[in-house]
Amino acid sequence: MNLFPSGSITGAPKIRSMQIIAGLEKSPRNLYTGTIGIITNENAVFNIPIRTVNIDKKTKLGELGLGSGIVWDSSAEMEFEEVKLKGNFITEPLKYFELLESLLFENGEYFLLDYHLERLKKSADSLLFKYDENEILNSLKNIKTKFEPGKKYKVRLLVNKWGSVKIEFDEINFELKSAKIVLSKIERCDVEKFKYHKTTFRPWDDELKKAKLNGFDEVLFINENDELLEGAISNLVIEKNGRRFTPPIELGILNGCYRKYLLDNKLCSEKRLTLTDLKNADKIIFCNSVRKEILVMK
């Protein structure tokens, strides 16, 4: 009684609230809103399991506990809507996606490999993917045996939720020296977490396909404040008076590996950029770790 359930689950006064709950509910809650944790020689860590799926491995059946906090002036209809909202990760799940890294293989090595591995691990930690660096490195090593000496390749590294690795590759036999771009105010992605991680969930690809059908090479997304963001497959860099600038991460853009390489080596600085900056730039550059730098035609 002193340990759990917590006051945030039962309400107060705690003992009387639990008596009322016991009288109203028709079955035990089992794992839901109790406590679950781990005890080691060093410490003990516990948490309250809510919205936790409990699956029976034998029957393949599962149970999900959902609820809402009832107070004196609660509305039954609104509380029910809240319960449905809490469960939409089951009823309206995101489409299946994998983590993705696009690497350049040239001169016998993977360009900016450490940057790609660092970003991949951060995304795996954030999105709850298994990350097995040894398997990744071994897969990249094995695929090199298929590359012809002296040629460049674009390598797509895919990692699924359980850490399985898949490698795809294409020879790069065309160097794009300059690009035509089109501006777009369409929201690049309406799922916040996917703005900061490179995955196969890419809703903005439709805008890129449309641009290419109209003779453009890339899309430059801008927000409602006319601030410049990034391309569909590239980060933006603007050069003015010998200095280079790129939009800041907090605007909701991907921290591309080549972009981070430029920032780490003091070759570029973060700055909020507008359409005026775009118009007055000495150079407009799109960059990524496969194509490196591509000059935009003004």
One DSSP character per residue, 114-139 reads: HHHHHHHHHHHHHHT----HHHHHHH
| Four-point Cα dihedral 30, 35, 38, 44, nearest 10 | -160
Indicate whether 185 belongs to any domain: yes
Structure tokens at 240: 């003015």
Indicate whether 255 belongs to any domain: yes
List phi, psi (to 5°) of 183. -85, 145
Please identify, among 67, 91, 115, the residue that sits at the C-terminal boundary of a domain: 91
80 with 107, same domain? Answer: no
Question: Which residue range is the domain that position 157 belongs to?
Answer: 99-171
Q: What is the pLDDT of residues 178-207, one digit of tens each?
A: 899 999 999 888 888 899 999 999 999 999
**For residue 252, what is the domain's CATH number?**
3.20.10.10
200 with 246, same domain? Answer: yes
Section 222-227 average pLDDT: 94
For the chain, the residue count is 298
Residue 192: count of CB within 10 angstroms of its CB: 8
86 with 67, same domain? Answer: yes
**CA gap 167, 22 in Å, rounded:** 54
Residue 179: count of CB within 10 angstroms of its CB: 18
Indicate whether 2 belongs to any domain: no
pLDDT at 106: 96
Indicate whether 112 belongs to any domain: yes
Please identify, among 115, 145, 171, the residue that sits at the C-terminal boundary of a domain: 171
Peptide bond into 13 cis (omega under 30): yes
213 with 141, same domain? Answer: no
Q: Closest Cα partner for 188 from 209, 204, 208, 206? A: 204
pLDDT at 92: 82
Q: Is residue 278 within 8 Å of 229, Cβ to Cβ?
A: no
**CA gap 228, 211 in Å, rounded:** 17
Question: 5-9, 113-117, 118-122, 263-267: lowest mean pLDDT where?
Answer: 5-9
Indicate whether 211 belongs to any domain: yes
123 with 233, same domain? Answer: no
Q: Is residue 13 within 8 Å of 27, Cβ to Cβ?
A: no
**CA gap 203, 80 in Å, rounded:** 31
**CA gap 230, 88 in Å, rounded:** 31
161 with 241, same domain? Answer: no
**For residue 167, what is the domain's CATH number?**
3.30.470.10
Q: Closest Cα partner for 124 from 41, 30, 26, 198? A: 198
- Predicted structure pTM score: 0.78
Section 166-179 average pLDDT: 91
Q: What is the pLDDT of residues 118-145, one digit of tens each?
A: 999 999 999 999 999 999 999 999 999 9
Indicate whether 1 belongs to any domain: no
183 with 261, same domain? Answer: yes
240 with 161, same domain? Answer: no
226 with 268, same domain? Answer: yes
* DSSP label of 228: E
Residue 287: count of CB within 10 angstroms of its CB: 23
187 with 164, same domain? Answer: no
Q: Is residue 274 within 8 Å of 228, Cβ to Cβ?
A: yes
Q: What is the pLDDT of residues 65-82, one digit of tens each?
A: 888 888 889 999 999 999
Indicate whether 106 belongs to any domain: yes
266 with 201, same domain? Answer: yes
Q: Widest CA span of the chain, in angstroms?
A: 77
How many structural domains comprise the chain? Answer: 3
pLDDT at 5: 66
79 with 61, same domain? Answer: yes
pLDDT at 1: 46
Please identify, among 52, 74, 91, the residue that sits at the C-terminal boundary of a domain: 91
